[in-house]
């Protein structure tokens, strides 16, 4: 599975404006809805918020992977955003979060959903890769970096 299969260039935000957790979820949902017009922004926000109620998806090292499952969705979709100032996302390490990868999967797709989460998590464990994303200034550059890193064996 490659991230480019479910992350389109249109679903990237090079400079998130959100300053708190709820605003991040709204901004990420908005870009997902724009990239996938059949999806409703309000429903996406609700799905991501429901998962956050179980515990923060801030995995530490400045990375969060808010995710959820949506009935009626036919394939995995994702959005990616960079917060230059950082947001308190209640990450497990207590540090501000800068890199957000929102993932929404079909309701009955546990295997695909887990593979995508594992793939994203593995990619973002690399400190050099995280730094290169933070240095990139455009959504196109960020997308290219993700695709390039994801293509490595």
Active site residues: 67
**H, E, C per residue of 12-57:** EECCCCCCCHHHHHHHHHHHHHHHCCCCCHHHHHHHHHHHHHHCCC
Look up residue 90 and give its two tokens. 């209640």
Contact between residue 104 and residue 76 where contact means Cβ atoms under 8 Å apart = yes
Half-sphere exposure (CA, 13 Å, Cβ side) for 74? 2
């Amino acid at each position: 599975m490659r991230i480019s299969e479910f992350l389109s260039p249109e679903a990237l935000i090079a400079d998130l404006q959100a300053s708190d957790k709820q605003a991040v979820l709204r901004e990420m949902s908005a870009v997902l809805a724009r990239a996938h017009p059949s999806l409703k922004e309000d429903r996406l926000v609700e799905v991501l918020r429901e998962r956050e109620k179980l515990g923060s998806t801030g995995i530490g090292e400045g990375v969060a992977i808010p995710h959820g499952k949506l009935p009626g969705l036919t394939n995995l979709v994702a959005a990616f955003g960079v917060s230059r100032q950082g947001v308190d996302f209640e990450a497990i390490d207590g540090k501000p979060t800068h890199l957000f990868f929102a993932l929404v999967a079909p309701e009955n797709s546990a295997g695909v959903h887990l593979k995508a989460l594992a793939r994203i998590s593995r990619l973002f464990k690399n400190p050099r890769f995280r730094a290169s994303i933070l240095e990139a200034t455009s959504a196109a550059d960020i997308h290219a970096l993700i695709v390039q890193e994801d293509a490595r064996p």
